[in-house]
Homo-oligomer: A and B are copies of this chain.
Amino acid sequence: MSKVTVWNENRHEQKNPIVREIYPKGIHGAIAGFLEEAGFDVSTATLDEAEHGLTDEVLRNTDVLVWWGHLAHGEVNDDIVEKIHQRVLDGMGLIVLHSGHFSKIFKRLMGTSCDLKWREADDKERIWVVDPSHPIVEGLGEYIELEKEEMYGEHFDIPVPDQLVFVSWFEGGEVFRSGCTYRRGNGRIFYFRPGHETYPTYHHQDVQKVITNAVKWAQPVNRKRPVYGNAQSIEPISIK
């Protein structure tokens, strides 16, 4: 059974009673909950644990890592970011949610600023499926509608996605590439936009479906890295 670690900064929950009310077990608890119901072997980890809860053993045993962070990206230890990076290259899946666009690990993997426009104004959001053949949209209708969300708008400064799965419409006049896949090394990455802490977005059934599908999709398929470096010793086919 596939092992999933849900990582959450878990700071808004401590400071803001509105967030605590929406997510009494934390954002990580809410996400872990529906992933467990979907049959995954789920653990959680948070910023203020030792090594942010991401020890070598935890990382080694994680097939897919889910990431939510916002206030405290800068407090994530660089050495741990490097370990996560290496694990992604080795094949671990990574699901980056909402404000995780600015996390060290996402910026490290993307090579761009990952900047965007934003506005907290209770915009209505419609997340349109633009790739109806993708496993991540299984079981969805043509769009997901969220009554109120934080707006994220283009330009989103990311590399061209390998696959563009969702595009969001916002009431105030913006669009956003909301569901983007990438691969880096042996690992697969999915960025999914919604999930501002003051809205009950992770209780929305379709949002849960997307994250569940994404975790399935991001399973490692190949745990062995290719051989790199000097190929002198390998017998070439036809060099005289």
Interface of A with B (CB < 8 Å)?
89, 91, 108-113, 115-124, 126, 128-135, 137-138, 140, 142, 151, 153-157, 159-160, 162-164, 167-175, 177, 182-188, 221-222, 225-232, 234, 236-239
Majority secondary structure, A binding face? loop
Bound Cα distance from A80 to B45, whole angstroms: 36
Query: Lowest 10 CB-CB distances: which A-B pairs, in order?
Result: A172-B236, A173-B237, A155-B226, A115-B228, A117-B231, A133-B183, A109-B111, A111-B111, A138-B221, A172-B239
Centre residue among A134, A151, A230, A239 by max chain B CB count within 10 A: A239
Q: Which residues on B sit within 8 Å (CB–CB) of A155? A: 128-130, 132, 142, 226, 228
User: Contact at A228–B113, with CB atoms within 8 Å?
Assistant: yes
Q: Which residues on B sit within 8 Å (CB–CB) of A120? A: 232
- Could you list 6 further interchain pairs (A-B, Cβ under 8 angstroms) beyond the known A138-B221, A159-B184? A117-B231, A123-B236, A126-B237, A129-B226, A132-B226, A160-B164
Bound Cα distance from A230 to B186, whole angstroms: 35
Shortest Cβ gap from A64 to chain B (Å): 13
Q: Which residues on B sit within 8 Å (CB–CB) of A138? A: 221-222
Bound Cα distance from A186 to B117, whole angstroms: 16
Q: Which residues on B sit within 8 Å (CB–CB) of A232? A: 119-121
Task: Provide 12 A-B residue pairs closer than 8 Å at the C-beta atoms, listed in order of the A residue.
Answer: A111-B184, A118-B231, A121-B232, A129-B154, A132-B222, A132-B225, A133-B186, A151-B231, A167-B167, A169-B170, A171-B237, A172-B237
